[in-house]
Amino acid sequence: MQRALTSAVRLSRRWRPLQACGCASNRMARDPEIQVRALTGPDQGITEILMNRPRARNALGNVLVSELLEALAQLQEDRQVRVLIFRSGVKGVFCAGADLKEREQMSEAEVGVFVQRLRGLMNEIAAFPAPTIAAMDGFALGGGLELALACDLRVAGTGQGERWDRPWEQSVSPENHKHTWAGMLPSGSWAPAKVLSFEEKREGMKIITFQPYRVASSAIMGLIETTRGLLPGAGGTQRLPRCLGVALAKELIFTGRRLNGAQAQALGLVNHSVAQNEEGNAAYHRARELAQEILPQAPIAVRLGKVAIDRGMEVDIASGMTIEGICYAQNIPTRDRLEGMAAFREKRPPKFVGE
């Protein structure tokens, strides 16, 4: 059950692009859509995958999927990777889901092949041997939320209203003023939070004076495929009910409802929600803190614990106990187990080496 822990690739300490190959949309020279970085110093052992496709809001197209698959194939054999963080280089968005514009150009057969690759990507993320964390700063819709669901842990940024002292006047007609500010506001927009005055003007026009607030880059997430005539096809129908329960997962998928970070935490969809900062990367910083809590622990025991939980959740409890026993037996002969016992006996912090 345990994946090989031998090191195949050692990453550089700087952001490093991975080149994709054999992709339909990779016919010409282009900028990489992901970058990989292994952190150093006290964060050594944390590796980050940065999604950076700003023009498409990190939408999952052929190139991005191929680069993610290549990165995972390399990283899963690197025993130096103790925690893997998925984050965004595009402010205000984690991942906007599948690239529907690209999909419009595909035949039905090509769509089927692409969705299968997308499902395979999520399975590879879920099966990654080390713990994975999704740092959700901004929108995570459709396939973007499915990517986060494939991770072990999820952290979301929650937008905080920031008052703007200068009032703002807006002229509207009686027919449209009720709909002017309807709907969900985009991240980073200026939003009227309070109506200060409402004054009638000639010819039916009205002047509304607002006290605006700035909305920070809050995580907005949802499996919204049913609002596009689709259904989740990259694991959403399977991982969401395992995360939240069947009834709640059905409600969220049937309605295509969007949740903010605080709502998602209340439901148990994310592990932590944190107040957004000015840079729009509060979830990333909390994800790093979470990774730092994992780093000192015995890496083989952590990986085997992940296997025991993931495999055990798919079977009855008796079979799950058998799986736990198999994983426990694999950990007994490790040097780290002996180091843990010795450190306890000698009343000192353990120094685990992953052997």
Q: Which residues are catalytic?
A: 98, 143, 146, 225
What is d(CA 100, CA 311) in angstroms, rounded to the nearest whole number? 33
Spatial contact of 122 and 97, defined as CB atoms under 8 Å apart: no
Assign residue 25 a region (left: φ > 0; alpha: ψ between -120 and 50; beta: otherwise): alpha
Q: Which of 39, 43, 151 is nearest to 95 (CA)?
A: 151
Q: Which residues contact 281 (CB under 8 A, 6 or more apart)?
A: 87, 135, 137, 157
Give CA angle at 331 (327, 333), nearest 5°.
Answer: 140
The alpha carbon dihedral of 274, 275, 280, 281 has a sign of: negative
Does an H or E element contain 198, and which? Answer: strand 190-200
The residue assigned the tokens 């595909």 is 106
DSSP structure string for 208-247: EEEEEEE-----EEE--GGGGT----SSHHHHHHHHH-HH
Look up residue 302 and give its two tokens.
């952590």
What amino acid is encoded at 334 in this protein? T
Measured from the Cβ of residue 163, the count of other Cβ atoms closer than 10 Å reads 10
Q: Computed over its alpha carbons, how large is the radius of gyration of the chain?
A: 23
220-222 vs 259-260, strand pairing mode: antiparallel
| Backbone φ and ψ of 42, nearest 5° | -65, -15
Look up residue 289 and give its two tokens.
């803190």
Look up residue 276 and give its two tokens.
């957004």
